[in-house]
Amino acid sequence: FLCHAFFDNWSILLGVFQSKNYQYALALVFAIEEINKNPHLLPNMTLGFGLYNVMHSPMTVMENPFIWLAGLEKHVPNYTCRKQSKSVAVISESSTAVQMGTLLELYKIPQLTLGPFEPLLSDSGQFPSLYQMTPKDTSLTHGMVSLMLHFSWTWVGLAISDLPKGIQFMSDLKAEMQKNGICVDFVELIPATLESLSSLQNSAHIQIIKSSANVEILFCVTESLIGASFQSWEQLMTWKVWVTTSQWDFASSEKPFLLYSFHGTLIFSNHHSEISGFKNFLQTANPSKYPEDSYFSKLWSLAFNCSVTGASCKTLQNCPLNASLESLPPHYFDMSMSDGSYNIYNAVYAVAHSVHEMLLQELEMQPVNSGAKVAFSPWQLHPFLKNLQFTNPAGDLVNLNHKRNLEAEYDILNFWNFPYGYGRKVKVGWFSPYVSHGQQLSLSENLIEWATGITETPRSVCSVSCSPGFRKTPLEGKPACCFDCTLCPENEISNQTDMDQCVNCPDLQYANTERDQCFHKKVTFLSFEDPLGMTLVCTALCFSVLTVVFLGVFVKHRDTPIVKANNRCLSYILLIALIFCFLCSLLFIGHPNTTTCVLQQTTFGVVFTLAVSTVLAKTITVLLAFKVTVPGRRMRQWLLSGVPNSIIPICSLIQLALCGIWLGTSPPFIDTDAHSEHGHIILVCNKGSVTAFYCVLGYLGSLALASFTVAFLARNLPDKFNEAKFLTFSMLVFCSVWVTFLPVYQSTKGKVMVAVEVFSILCSSAGLLGCIFVPKCYIILFRPEKNALKGLRDRIVSKETDVLKCSS
């Protein structure tokens, strides 16, 4: 039985013998010889073969297939001059499968293809007699993208064959790259026809020169004019990392610039186990072993400079004695089995297994007749080929059913061009779609040799990665891989490179200066140890002590005119109230708790109401004293009965009522402020009801305004010891402090807000103390001569003195 093979052994474009394709023929011979020696596969039968050369030219691609079918060079369709044909199958390359498949389908002859997997050829409706030996390459794009991600290459160029398979690959690759954040710098289509070759060369120069990508993906099929295209790129291809497939075997080129330019290229090659005995077969193969093979003689003469004699040009002379295929450089003849040779090896075994199974079935159905010759038609093999699945001698599973055909696994090879001009491929990794995600790619980076001029793992990015603390800002009109880096806003971080968005730190954490970490905030408050807190505490204590001193001075000089003339009882009450005003500020400093939060505002409201109402009582008393001119009038009775003094408890009780309502509805409580001070959580007292707080403050302000108004009316009353002017100034200071307090208080947060309130308490209290009592103490202590009555007192002064005496 014959298994015919149609291979491309000659190149029309370059006009030289393609020695790499001859490995296909040797793989065919090796597989057939191995089967013929196997006693368990087609026993007592011999499998033969025939070789035919197929040109890629549209004018000649069908010439040899017609010659084979007709048996004559001048053939007539549907006629054959062969008396008896024992052909059972045809093995061909995928590049000519469509044209040949249409012809062979007329005769139902099985056709097995060895090239890259073509989805078009898997259409059983259009090509029912065609079988692809190559596994599906749908995982190739995923493998290449995994390689890009492994080295963080996000900016690549594409050089793709302009055939339908190349266009489909480009579409799938772009989709996979987009899903993984990889961008395309440029796309260059490699022509498959001579007509489009000239247009490529000009545009390719421009795109590669302008390209900033250091990594290029090259994908072509055998009929692409890739070799001719790259001859014009000699000065442009260095300093680039190329990622390609084994479909274009540039390593077999005799052009030194290609070997130099593609040094460091990463190649995806279909994974297959090593075929035992094949390398030894190549080592011993020579033209004398196969004298009928004119191609072998042609290869030998070109490789070893032998002279050819004889009419058939098969006789070789002057060849080296130790000449062998192993001694040839790898770029001329590679001793390792290529993907195509491996597919041919499997194709021959597939045909042999199908014939074997068919013969076994016939033997089971018919009696054994040892004298009968076995004869059958090629179409009878189809039922066996369609569902054929077997394990080849290397231990790999082979499946011809395209619906159950597995995805390909890939070896990743690295092309080395050293010694110079002696290119070889070294396996540096693998990719398998059947391994769990994240472990599908394996690389030995220490074995990788990079492109000429690159001494370390190259980078290929449009923009430098944004380090932690920054986020990517897209550039208008540019791909997603091109961006600027912007520092994360305050209290936001990015703890990884190339983050699209910064993330907020939790409320109890804050971002560091570099914006790449969140730290737990430190709990703080206006403490006694804090410089600001310590200053306020010292100020409050100093003013309290000073007030006590003033009270002592007034008690000691209680019988002097200046003390007696201004209602010394009210003065005592006011001084005591001011002491509590200074001391109540201490409640705002230190670690807040529920008790201090409640006491802060209520104590503040009550003691200040006591102080202001006392000032109001003193002012009304002065005003009434100078209005009493007629004995027996009702105003005199009010003055003598101490009615003005009742203002103090009445006003204080009203404030107590307001505070009681406040505490009963929405009392103050401990709260946290995590936003006012960077890196800190401030413990503060939340006022609970802001409305209640402003009611207390408003009531206090109305009392101060009333005191100011009454004091202002009495400021010009005659008397040496009239304090109406001092009361006016004290209320002016008091009102100014608290009017200023309101906007400042609203615009501050945290400890500063607390400090503002304490400062306002101290300033208003100091204003009352300074404006009312400092002038009097100055006279008492330093100008005693002014603290005495000289001469006769008029009637008005006499009345005032008598009225201002405290009732016992």
pLDDT in tens, 42-63: 888 888 888 887 776 666 777 7
Burial of 222: CB neighbours in 10 Å, binned 0-12, 13-18, 19+: buried
Tell me which of 103 and 483 has the higher pLDDT: 483
Q: 247 with 95: CB under 8 angstroms? A: no
Return the pLDDT at 394.
92
Alpha carbons 525 and 591: distance in angstroms, whole number: 6
Please report the sign of the dihedral spanned by the C-alpha atoms of residue 767, residue 772, residue 776, residue 777: negative
Q: How far is CA 469 from CA 502, 519, 675, in A?
A: 8, 14, 20
Q: What residues contact residue 100 under an 8 Å CB cut-off, 6+ apart?
A: 6, 54, 61, 62, 65, 90, 92, 111
Structural domains in the chain? Answer: 2-134+337-362+378-399 (3.40.50.2300), 138-271+408-447 (3.40.50.2300), 470-520 (no CATH), 531-710 (no CATH)
Beta bridge mates, 241: 215
What is the full DSSP assignment across 662-678?
Answer: HHHHS--EEEEESSSST
Cα–Cα nearest to 411, from 437, 436, 442, 435: 442
Tell me which of 239 and 410 has the higher pLDDT: 410
Q: What is the dihedral of CA 254, 255, 256, 261, to 10 degrees?
A: -120
Strands 215-219 and 183-190: unpaired
806 pLDDT exceeds 50? no
Average pLDDT in the 271-283 region? 92
What is the full DSSP assignment across 535-571?
Answer: HHHHHHHHHHHHHHHHHHHHHHTTTSHHHHTT-HHHH
Q: What are the helix (H) ranges across 242-375? A: 256-261, 278-284, 294-304, 339-365
Adjacency order of strands within the sheet including 130-132: 48-53, 2-7, 87-92, 111-113, 130-132
Q: What residues contact residue 559 under an 8 Å CB cut-off, 6+ apart?
A: none
* Ramachandran bin of 220, using left for φ above 0, alpha for ψ from -120 to 50, beta for the remaining angles: beta
Neighbours of 732 (CB within 10 A): 16
667: preceding bond cis by omega (within 30 degrees): no
Return the pLDDT at 15.
31
What confidence tier does 16 reach under pLDDT thresholds 50, 70, 90?
very low
Q: How far is CA 378 from CA 13, 89, 108, 611, 624, in A?
A: 35, 7, 7, 120, 136
pLDDT in tens, 509-561: 889 889 999 998 888 888 888 888 899 999 999 999 999 999 999 898 888 88
| Strand (E) or helix (H) holding 203 | helix 197-210
Return the pLDDT at 368.
55
Tell me which of 763 and 60 has the higher pLDDT: 763
Q: Strand locations in 449-526, DSSP E?
A: 470-474, 483-487, 492-493, 503-504, 509-511, 518-520, 522-524
Q: Which of 3-12, 186-195, 470-479, 733-742 has the lowest mean pLDDT?
A: 3-12
Q: What residues contact residue 552 under an 8 Å CB cut-off, 6+ apart?
A: none
Q: Which residues of 570-602 are buried (b: 16+ CB within 10 A; e: fewer)?
A: bbbbbbbbbbbbbbbbbbbbbebeeebbbbbbb
672 pLDDT exceeds 80? yes
